[in-house]
Structure 1
Amino acid sequence: MAQIQIEVNGRPYAVGCEDGQEQHLMELAKLFDRQVRHVSADMGQLGDTRLFLMGALLLADELADARNRLNSLQAELARLQSDRARMETRAVAALENAAKRIEKLAVDDVAA
């Protein structure tokens, strides 16, 4: 298990993570630090616990919004794929119908 040093709101914290996840954890810590600093700028110094709580709640809100958007987009994608499948079925049927008409015309021409 790897140990890294992160900084949140100007204070260092030692954090453990799986080997190979150090860079990812540092990026997450930077994201959280920006959120905490934003809360601190808006509300003043509330103490680390309250700042961290507010920062975490704001990030959770952003995550919930992103999940809702993702669910909406997935539903729209499923609808569009279904529409496309119906259109393809109609196109195949129209092509088959046209082919039958052409064959009938060809047979009628040969018979005439």
Structure 2
Amino acid sequence: MDTSLLIPLVLLVPAAGVGLCLLMPSARSVLGVLCITVLVTSLSGVCLTAQVFDRGPATSAGDWLFIDALSAYHLLLLAVVFVFSTIFAIQYFGSHHILDRTAARRF
């Protein structure tokens, strides 16, 4: 995929995920949307990082968005942390805790 498409994808998928989470009726469905959002964002971030390391810096949106090797490294690091945090969230909320609005308000 072209880097000029991946840069906005990395930014817009989480924003779309937030919008979908606001529309979800239950906490379990929010967790499902979160998992899909993190997966798509992380995969596009890894692809973008690989392309930047291979081809050099990339721009998008008329050079308003720019990613170089250091930015790509941080994006890769964030993707790894987000994936592991999401896996932990699935384990944590899936088996040990009741996921309702009362429990969420405590935090």
Superposition TM-score tier, normalisation by shorter sequence: 0.3 to 0.5
Between Structure 1 and Structure 2, whose CA radius of gyration is higher? 1
TM-score normalised to structure 2 length:
0.32
Which of 1 and 2 has higher RCO (CA within 8 Å, sep 6+)? 2
Higher-strand-fraction structure: 1
Q: TM-score, normalised by structure 1?
A: 0.31
